[in-house]
């Protein structure tokens, strides 16, 4: 779940990741044939790399059968799919504050929103998510009313007391 949340990749992209797509040394994931058959490189944060190192060292060897190259596999050694991810989210999501009804796709939206709140540029978020259009990225990013109030207070001249009512 950490890799999914911290990268904002699509469910299908997560499920199709192979060991060869992972570059922990450089903190990168290679997305091959993402939506619209586009390849891209997605940054991996330190936290995600730490989780992946533990997973690769401790969990994956117990799950994977010989010759399986998918990064994320089930207890039967098969690659993850949407159903697997949904099950894991409902089973373990409560521990990290997810509601039982949180969908995998909502995690992608959350990643985008948190990047925006952290002051990432919308174009950078577009690249991370792999969107062809920035308009699509704007749909993914929710702006909260508290943030809008802060912007109003910080940016509007009336709120900064730069102009008086009589100036109108």
Pairing of strands 22-23, 28-31: antiparallel
Q: What angle do CA 79, 6, 65 make, to 5 degrees?
A: 20
* Cβ–Cβ < 8 Å for 30, 41: yes
Q: How far apart, in whole angstroms, are the C-alpha atoms of residue 137 and residue 104?
A: 17
Instruction: Give catalytic residue positions.
Output: 10, 35, 105, 108, 131, 140
Compute CA distances 19 → 23, 44, 84, 88, 138, whole Å: 9, 14, 19, 21, 32
Run of H or E residues at 29: strand 28-31
Four-point Cα dihedral 106, 135, 133, 152, nearest 10: -90
């Amino acid at each position: 779940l950490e890799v999914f949340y911290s990268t904002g990749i699509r469910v299908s992209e997560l499920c199709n990741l192979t060991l060869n797509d992972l570059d922990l040394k450089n903190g990168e994931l290679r997305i091959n044939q993402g939506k619209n058959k586009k390849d891209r490189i997605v940054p991996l944060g330190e936290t995600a790399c730490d989780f992946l190192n533990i997973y690769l060292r401790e969990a994956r060897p117990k799950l994977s059968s010989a010759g399986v190259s998918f990064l994320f596999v089930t207890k039967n050694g098969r690659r993850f799919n949407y159903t697997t991810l949904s099950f894991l989210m409902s089973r373990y999501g409560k521990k990290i504050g997810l509601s039982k009804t949180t969908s995998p796709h909502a995690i992608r939206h959350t990643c985008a929103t948190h990047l925006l709140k952290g002051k990432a540029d919308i174009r950078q978020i577009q690249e991370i998510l792999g969107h062809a259009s920035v308009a699509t990225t704007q749909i993914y990013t929710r702006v909260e009313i508290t943030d809008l109030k802060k912007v109003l207070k910080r940016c509007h001249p009336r709120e900064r007391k730069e102009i008086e009512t009589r100036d109108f």
